[in-house]
């Protein structure tokens, strides 16, 4: 019996299989695209003073705390770490900035009154001081009684249960420690794609202190009254009243526009509008317009030099004074040594009338009863903190108030002239600070 041959032999099948195999394009598995990671920029500085936009957030309050004159350079060092986190495409940016004061952190007795029932309360600055000078509104009869008993040596029962310098009636610590300036800044922004018009970014930022600070006062309708704080019926904004202060909560919207020319100098116009209502609502609605730029010499080198410039214009310094003008001209130069740097900065405040107000420096000694001590907002002068408190200053100011020539009108002019000559000082138009830091990008 014969068997027919198969139509396709095994050799022919193998050959056809190979042709079929190689006739299709060889496709390998697609490689997954590499995911871009976040960009993290860190910066840590130790600054000699916390200055920004011409504002002194610590140095000037430290002068009031210590009873020192305002100066162009104040040593109030702080640690300021910051971190910027960028999305992989550098569209979204999140920033954190902290301020932590390193010296003079504790509250101290700044009004130097020897008898008080509460911080900032009325009381004599020296034994024998007349009641009409230290308690003109009769706010604390107990302090008056104790002072009379101690200064005259009178005997008899004590209506105020004894004199205790550290617990009851004695010097008190006012809310003035630099720790009250410790705070955290948070910002988030979106950067649009560059175009022929330049680069735009929009965002919002918040700055909040961790503790209550005299630099941020509650509105009279919400604060707790302190019946003994000096100032009588006008004591609602007494910065020495712990119940009249709150945390600083400063919030702003902003727009940045980096111009499309001279790009190596990074010319940028920025607009900020404040919507927070700290300081009794005085600062809400304040606007700040700035023009800034910077340039780095020897970029990508170990040793680099970066000058920076900012011109800031205030459109309404606060809701009450509503003054417009150049708020600050800030220039700085940073010298980089690898990731380390040292920076020298100068702030010029050309329009001092923006600052010549009780709504910035506060009342003399924080006392609303002394609001008239800064009569003029056009002379570039404010009350010198070193000429307000203490037995020496108080005795001189009381002597001025006792002048009596028989002509009340003339006496008023003489008293005002002598008091202002003794207590007023020029507002520093130039401020300086220096910082040491380390920056790193991951």
Report the run of H or E that residue 405 belongs to, with start and end: none
Cα 180 → chain centroid: 10
Report the run of H or E that residue 219 belongs to, with start and end: none
- Phi/psi region, residue 402 (left: phi>0; alpha: psi -120 to 50; beta: rest), is alpha
pLDDT in tens, the chain (442 residues): 444 445 455 555 554 444 444 444 545 455 555 667 899 999 999 999 999 999 999 999 999 999 999 999 999 999 999 999 999 999 999 999 999 999 999 999 999 999 998 888 899 999 999 999 999 999 888 888 889 888 887 776 665 665 554 457 889 999 999 999 999 999 999 999 999 999 999 999 999 999 988 888 877 777 787 888 887 766 777 888 888 888 888 899 999 999 999 999 999 999 999 887 666 666 667 899 999 999 999 999 999 999 999 999 999 888 788 899 999 999 999 999 999 999 999 999 999 999 998 888 888 888 888 888 888 888 999 999 999 999 999 999 999 999 999 999 999 999 999 999 999 999 999 999 999 999 999 8
CA distance 122 to 113: 8
CB atoms within 10 A of CB 314: 20
How do strand 183-191 and strand 430-441 relate by DSSP bridges?
unpaired
Helix (H, G, I), strand (E, B) or coil at 63: helix
CA distance 171 to 12: 111
Q: With CA atoms as reference, report the closest residue to 231 among 219, 223, 241, 242.
A: 241
Is the model's pTM score more than 0.95?
Answer: no
Q: Are 333 and 339 within 8 A, CB to CB?
A: no
DSSP conformational letter for 392: H
Q: Are 104 and 181 within 8 A, CB to CB?
A: no
Q: Are 294 and 307 within 8 A, CB to CB?
A: yes
């Amino acid at each position: 019996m014969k068997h027919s041959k198969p139509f396709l032999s095994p050799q022919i099948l193998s050959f056809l299989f190979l042709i079929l195999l190689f006739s299709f394009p060889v496709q390998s598995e697609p490689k997954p695209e590499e995911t871009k990671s976040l960009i993290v920029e860190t910066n840590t500085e130790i600054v000699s003073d916390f200055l920004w936009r011409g504002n002194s957030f610590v140095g000037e309050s430290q002068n009031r705390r210590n009873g020192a004159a305002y100066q162009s350079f104040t040593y109030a060092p702080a640690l300021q770490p910051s971190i910027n986190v960028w999305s992989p495409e550098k569209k979204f940016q999140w920033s954190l900035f902290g301020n932590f004061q390193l010296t003079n952190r504790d509250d101290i007795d700044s009004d130097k009154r020897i008898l008080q029932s509460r911080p900032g309360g009325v009381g004599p600055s020296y034994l024998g001081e007349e009641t009409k000078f230290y308690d003109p509104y009769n706010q604390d009869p107990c302090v008056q009684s104790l002072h009379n008993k101690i200064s005259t040596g009178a005997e008899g029962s004590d209506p105020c249960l004894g004199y205790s310098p550290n617990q009851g009636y004695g010097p008190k610590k006012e809310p003035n420690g630099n720790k009250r300036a410790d705070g955290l800044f948070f910002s988030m922004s979106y950067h649009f794609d560059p175009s022929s018009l330049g680069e735009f970014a929009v965002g919002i930022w918040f700055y909040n202190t961790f503790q209550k600070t005299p630099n941020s006062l509650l509105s009279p309708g919400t604060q707790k009254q302190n019946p003994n704080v000096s100032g009588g019926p006008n004591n609602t904004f007494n910065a020495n009243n712990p119940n009249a202060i709150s945390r600083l909560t400063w919030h702003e919207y902003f727009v940045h526009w980096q111009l499309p020319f001279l790009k190596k100098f990074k010319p940028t116009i920025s607009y900020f509008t404040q919507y927070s209502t700290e300081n009794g609502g005085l600062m809400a609605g304040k606007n700040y317009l700035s023009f800034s730029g910077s340039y780095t010499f020897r970029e990508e080198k170990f040793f680099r030099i970066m000058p920076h410039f900012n011109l800031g214009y205030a459109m309404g310094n606060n809701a009450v004074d509503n003054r417009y003008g150049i708020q600050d001209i800030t220039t700085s130069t940073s010298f980089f040594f690898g990731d380390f740097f040292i920076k020298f900065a100068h702030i010029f405040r050309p329009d001092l009338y923006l600052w010549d107000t009780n709504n910035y420096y506060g009342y003399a000694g924080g006392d609303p009863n002394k609001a008239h001590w800064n009569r003029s907002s056009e002379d570039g002068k404010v009350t010198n903190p070193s000429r307000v408190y203490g037995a020496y200053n108080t005795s001189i100011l009381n002597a001025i108030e006792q002048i009596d020539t028989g002509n009340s009108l003339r006496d008023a002019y003489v008293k005002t002239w002598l008091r202002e000559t003794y207590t007023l000082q020029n507002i520093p138009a130039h401020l300086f600070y220096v910082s040491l830091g380390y920056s790193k990008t991951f």
